[in-house]
Structure formats: C-alpha cells, structure tokens
Amino acid sequence: MSGPAADESAADPADKAGAIAIVCGAGGFPAAVAEAAQAGGQPVLLVGLRGIADEAAIGRFPHEWVRLGEIGGLLKLLKSRNIARMAFVGGLTRPELSDLRLDWGAVKRLPEIARALKGGDDHTLRGIIGIFESEGLRVVGVDAIAPALLAGAGLLAGPTPEAQARADMAQALALLDALSAFDCGQGAVVANGRVIAVEAAEGTDAMLARVAELRRNGRFRAKGAAGVLVKAPKRGQDLRIDLPAIGPATLAAAKDAGLAGVAVSAGRVLVLDKAASVAAARANGLFLWGVAP
Amino acid sequence: MSGPAADESAADPADKAGAIAIVCGAGGFPAAVAEAAQAGGQPVLLVGLRGIADEAAIGRFPHEWVRLGEIGGLLKLLKSRNIARMAFVGGLTRPELSDLRLDWGAVKRLPEIARALKGGDDHTLRGIIGIFESEGLRVVGVDAIAPALLAGAGLLAGPTPEAQARADMAQALALLDALSAFDCGQGAVVANGRVIAVEAAEGTDAMLARVAELRRNGRFRAKGAAGVLVKAPKRGQDLRIDLPAIGPATLAAAKDAGLAGVAVSAGRVLVLDKAASVAAARANGLFLWGVAP
C-alpha cells in the first residue's frame, strides 16, 4: 500500500506531470471528477467500464474502454501510456465471479479476485486496489484528484438546523459509527430521537423512498418536516473507495421523505453538482449541513 | 419497577389465582398468547384497543374494549376486576400525542406520556409500563404468560445450516448487538459475509420484501439460496415489551428473498403458530435455527 490519499494532493506538481487514469463506473460522477481534475490542471485518461459507464459523458474526455474483468488489458493500457496513478470512480453493481469474462491477467489473479468478491463492498474494492498496487500503480481517491467536490463544514445551505435536528444528526452519526465494523451502509435517517431507516445494500435513494412510504403509511409520523438523513463514511474507511455521495436528487428525495435536512461528513462525502445541490436544499426548505471531523 | 419478568412465571400458583389482563394491539398474536395462557391454567381478561385489535379474535375470550389514550378508564377497569397483573401484546402504530383522545387519567399523566412518545419504540413502551407500575400493577412479558410460544434452541426445522450460513448468522447477531444502544430494528439480513438489509421502522416483512427486490434487480446476487434473516431482541431489552416475533409468513417471505434460513434468539423471540412455522420452513427448504443465549 502506498501512503495515505492525502499525500496524493493535486497540489503536487510532480504528480500532475502524467495523466491520471480514472476507471469509470456508472453515473454522472466520473465525468464530474474528470472535469474538476482538468480544471485543477491535472491531465486525465478516462477508462470506461464497457456497458456500465456513460458513453456520452466519457466521450467528452480522452478515454479508452475495458470490460469488467479485463485486468490484464487495463494494466497493459496503463503501462503503454506511462500512467502511474489511477482512481476508481462511479457506481458498480457487484458482479458474480462467474459472470465476468476474465482475461489472462485476471485469470492469473483469480484467487485474489475471488477473495475480494466475498464480503462487503469495501472489502471487494480494497482487494481490487491491492491487485493494482501490487503492479506498482498508485491508487488515489477523489479527495486527491478533485477536493472541490467534497462537502465543506457547517451550514452549506438552507435554514439553520434546530436543536432536535442537531440531536437527530448526532444520533445517526453515532449509529453509523457503531455500524462501521460491518462494512454496510453509509446512511441512516433519524427523526425526533427515533431511528427510521438504516441503509445497507439498497442504497440511499431506495432508503429515502422507503422513508417517504413510511410517512405515507403512518409508520413514521411527525408534524411537519422532521428528521435528518446523515451520510458518512465508515470509521477508518479508505477514502479511495466508495466515498459516500449526495446530489440534488438526494435533497429532493429527502424533501419527499418529509425530512428537515441532510447532514454529511465534511471533507469525506462528495457533493455532486454543488450549485444545484445548494439550490435544491434552499428550494425544498432543507438544511444541508457539513459535520466537522 | 417490580422484579424481572422471570419472577412472574406462570408456574407460580398464587399468581394464577387472579386473571391477567392482556392489553391487545393489532394482529393475531394477542389471541395466541391468550390461548396459551388459558391452556396453562391462567385466567385472562383481554382488553382490546378499539379500532386496533382484531374484534373477532378478542371476542373469543373474556374481554373489554378501551380507546388508545383511555388510561384512566383502563386503570379503573383493572381495579374493578381486582386485576394485579397485565401484559401488552400485539402491534401498535406509534400515535402522535395530538391524535390521542385522552381521558382524565391520561391528561393527569400528560408529561409522562409526552416523554414516552419521544424516542424509540422501546422508550415509549417503557414509559407506558412505568405509568401502570406506578399504579401498583405488575406488568409481565409474554415469556411469563406463554413461555411455550418462545423459540427453542438449535435446529428447529429444515436442513442443518452450512458453515457460510452459520458465519452470516454470527455476523448479523454481532450487528444487531452493535445496534442495541439505538433502539431501532431487531432484524438484519446477511448473505455470504455481506450485510444486505438492516431493519428499522419498516419492520421485518418490509425488509424481506426489500431483499427480494434487491435479488430481482441484481443488487444482491448469489447462486441459489444464500443468506440468513436474524431476529433478536436488543441486548438488555425489557422482554415485557416488543418481543421480536416470526411466523409462517416470515418464512415464506424469507424464501421469496432467496435466503437459506432464519435464525432467532432462543427463548427471546416468539414463534407464532409453531407447527405452521416449522411446516413452512420445511416446505420452503429453509432452516429455522434458535441461537442459544
């Protein structure tokens, strides 16, 4: 393992000399990271996972495509381009080993891959990172490439949270901390001192849809807006993998769930499209709060 | 507070002399408890919560009706019948204080009631129990009235769980233990070392429906049956309130979610309709396991 991600700061001019490879999963996030990296003077090479990454978005940057499972091909590509640093960005549904079309470079690493696929998402990604690092590549986090995308601290948008909301926030954070060891969700909803929902494999959007349903069917009752969605990485989480993220859609869903606001770990949660997220918080009367470390 | 529920064993003949009041919430469980108590020689008086308890089922036993919020009326009723012991059984959607039509006995206790309604379900029920105990009543648990309804230890039905299922079980139990302090769910699903779902306000049925959906949409992938639903009360939980329960429907839902089995805390989780639950486990090829304390 190389040093912590913080060593990889985009402020290091020596590191910027070469392009950084961004292995792109699903969603709009890889392109946002690429844009922020370029804006910071960091050349990028996007490597889209075929059938998973967004073709149009990837196409706007210098790019290549690989299949999931094409580990040998990806290593060869990075070597041929003299790329020393890489990052993994974007969503990925966990594959079954038997669904992967592995190339020879992957087959050679089958035991590591099989071990990686068994366990929580973090475990899987740590295993994948380990494979690339054992080939001499440095795997960095979004915090190193595009720090501007991370949440700030304090009130980021909307009304100041009231005492009950602050208490709900603290309770949700403590709960997520207690769950850290279990490599599961990075989100929870607490309202008026009661735990309404805990996120696991379903993801934040599905959890918020559930909370909205619980309000409609009366299992979560409250007068007016109440409760907080808290997103935070696990304690000691490797920030190079699976950084929690929110965006404008999260705020709209939180509004639909009747919540009073959304809180995130400052510096450790990504805010996709900050301007639109701030606008969505304001438009929906929700606070957006960054919990200082 | 009186002594622990274990002191209230139905084996104590002095206690059986008087009827025990069973305050009945929703579902078929109050009638099952009443039946088991009568079968053990314990006279019962069912007190149905109007609009909530099952009229036909309650009607089969000596019974009375009260409204939720009619605390003064209930205390008077119990006194007039010389009843010294009571239990709360069955489901209840948490009321908002403002939705309750409180009688004078309740209005007098408004601060306690308001305090009770703020926080998790356990906290609420503990507050309600406190109100009745401060009036000299002894509130007992289902474990005292109808111990036959509690899960036994070891293999209760179906195939012996394999090593991975045993490991998943242990992981889910540890997770529920870590969540004990947060007064939220009493259930979790772990499959092949990965936390798939954590139960909070939605309840077990909704959680299992979610897991089934996660299998259908590919976010929880596994070859064949995999994973375990574990139900366990919180560490140090007052067993007089909100004992976790499973039944034949739980096993059918676990099958639909593609799980390998269901595990419960022996002696601390209720099995509704044991014969049908055992039959459902066998018919669905699921194990039903009681985790010894």
Domain boundaries, chain B: 5-145, 150-291
| DSSP H stretches of helix in A92-182 | 104-107, 110-117, 121-133, 142-145, 163-178
pLDDT band at residue B1 using 50, 70 and 90 as cut-offs? very low
Cα–Cα distance, B157 to B53 (Å, whole number): 31
The average pLDDT across B51-60 equals 94
Please tell me the predicted confidence (pLDDT) of residue B17.
62
Is the pLDDT score of A3 beyond 60?
no
Please enumerate in sequence order all residues whose Cβ is within 8 A of that of B216, keeping only pairs 6 or more positions apart, or say none.
none
Is the pLDDT score of A224 beyond 50?
yes
Most B CBs within 10 Å: which of A115, A195, A215, as the mutation test of the B interface? Answer: A195
Residues A135-172 have pLDDT tens digits of: 999 999 988 899 889 999 999 999 999 999 999 999 99
| DSSP H stretches of helix in B19-162 | 29-39, 55-58, 71-80, 104-107, 110-117, 121-133, 142-145
Q: Which of A181, A193, A223 sits opposite B118 (nearest CB)?
A: A193
Please tell me the predicted confidence (pLDDT) of residue A4.
40
Per this entry, what is the length of chain B? 293
The average pLDDT across A44-48 equals 97
Is the pLDDT score of B13 beyond 60?
no
Residue B50: phi and psi, rounded to 5, are -60, 135
Share of chain A above pLDDT 90, in %: 63
Most B CBs within 10 Å: which of A121, A194, A220, as the mutation test of the B interface? Answer: A194
Chain A interface, Cβ < 8 Å to B: 93-96, 98, 118-121, 123, 171, 174-175, 178-179, 181-185, 189, 192-203, 206, 210, 214, 218-223
CB within 8 Å: B200 and A197: yes
| The residue to which tokens 């007992």 are assigned | B140
Q: How far is CA B215 from CA A181, A187, B172, B185, B220, in A?
A: 24, 21, 19, 22, 5
A204 contacts A250 by C-beta, under 8 angstroms: yes
Is the pLDDT score of B16 beyond 80?
no
| The residue to which tokens 């090593």 are assigned | B163
pTM over 0.90: no
Q: What is the mean pLDDT of chain B?
A: 88
Contacts 24+ apart (CB under 8 A), A216-224: A218/B93, A219/B93, A219/B94, A219/B201, A219/B202, A219/B203, A220/A191, A220/A196, A220/A258, A220/B201, A221/B93, A221/B94, A221/B95, A221/B96, A222/A191, A222/A192, A222/A258, A222/B96, A223/B96, A223/B98
Is the pLDDT score of B94 beyond 90?
no
Specify burial of residue B91 (Cβ count, 10 A radius: 0-12, 13-18, 19+).
Answer: middle
- How many angstroms separate the most distant Cα atoms in chain B? 61
Is the pLDDT score of B2 beyond 50?
no
Q: How far is CA B164 from CA A27, B161, B231, B232, in A?
A: 33, 8, 18, 19
Residues A57-102 have pLDDT tens digits of: 999 999 999 998 899 999 999 999 999 999 998 877 777 777 778 8
CB within 8 Å: B178 and A183: no
Q: What is the DSSP track for B56-97?
A: HHHTTSSEEEE-TT-HHHHHHHHHHTT--EEEEESB-PPPPG
Please tell me the predicted confidence (pLDDT) of residue A13.
39
Cα–Cα distance, A264 to A197 (Å, whole number): 16
Angle at A123 between CA B215 and CA A235, to 5 degrees: 110
B5-145 belongs to CATH 3.90.1150.10: no
Indicate the fold that domain A150-291 takes in CATH: Cytidine Deaminase; domain 2 (3.40.140)
Cα–Cα distance, B193 to B195 (Å, whole number): 7
pLDDT band at residue B238 using 50, 70 and 90 as cut-offs? confident
- Strand A287-291 and strand A261-265: the pairing is parallel
Instruction: Tell which residue, A74, A10, A18, A17, has the closest CA to residue A48.
Output: A74
| The residue to which tokens 């060891």 are assigned | A181
Cα–Cα distance, B279 to B261 (Å, whole number): 13
Q: What is the DSSP track for A239-284?
A: TTS---EE-HHHHHHHHHTT-SEEEEETTTSEESSHHHHHHHHHHT
- Among the ranges given (A33-37, A44-48, B91-95, B151-155), the one the predictor scored with the smallest mean pLDDT: B91-95
Cα–Cα distance, A166 to B8 (Å, whole number): 41
Is residue A150 classed as helix, strand or coil in its secondary structure?
A: strand
Angle at A101 between CA A97 and CA A107, to 5 degrees: 75
Number of inter-chain CB pairs under 8 A, A vs B: 118
DSSP secondary structure letter of residue B206: H
Instruction: Tell which residue, A115, A57, A129, has the closest CA to residue A86.
Output: A129
The average pLDDT across A178-191 equals 90
| The residue to which tokens 């009229």 are assigned | B55
Q: What is the DSSP track for A201-233?
A: TTHHHHHHHHHHHHHHTTSS--SSS--EEEE-P
The average pLDDT across A196-219 equals 95
Q: Which residue has the higher pLDDT, A121 or A219?
A: A219
Is residue B144 classed as helix, strand or coil in its secondary structure?
A: helix
- Strand A187-191 and strand A228-231: the pairing is antiparallel
What is the residue type of A127? G
The average pLDDT across A162-184 equals 94
Please tell me the predicted confidence (pLDDT) of residue A143.
86
Q: Which of A182, A192, A195 sits opposite B200 (nearest CB)?
A: A195
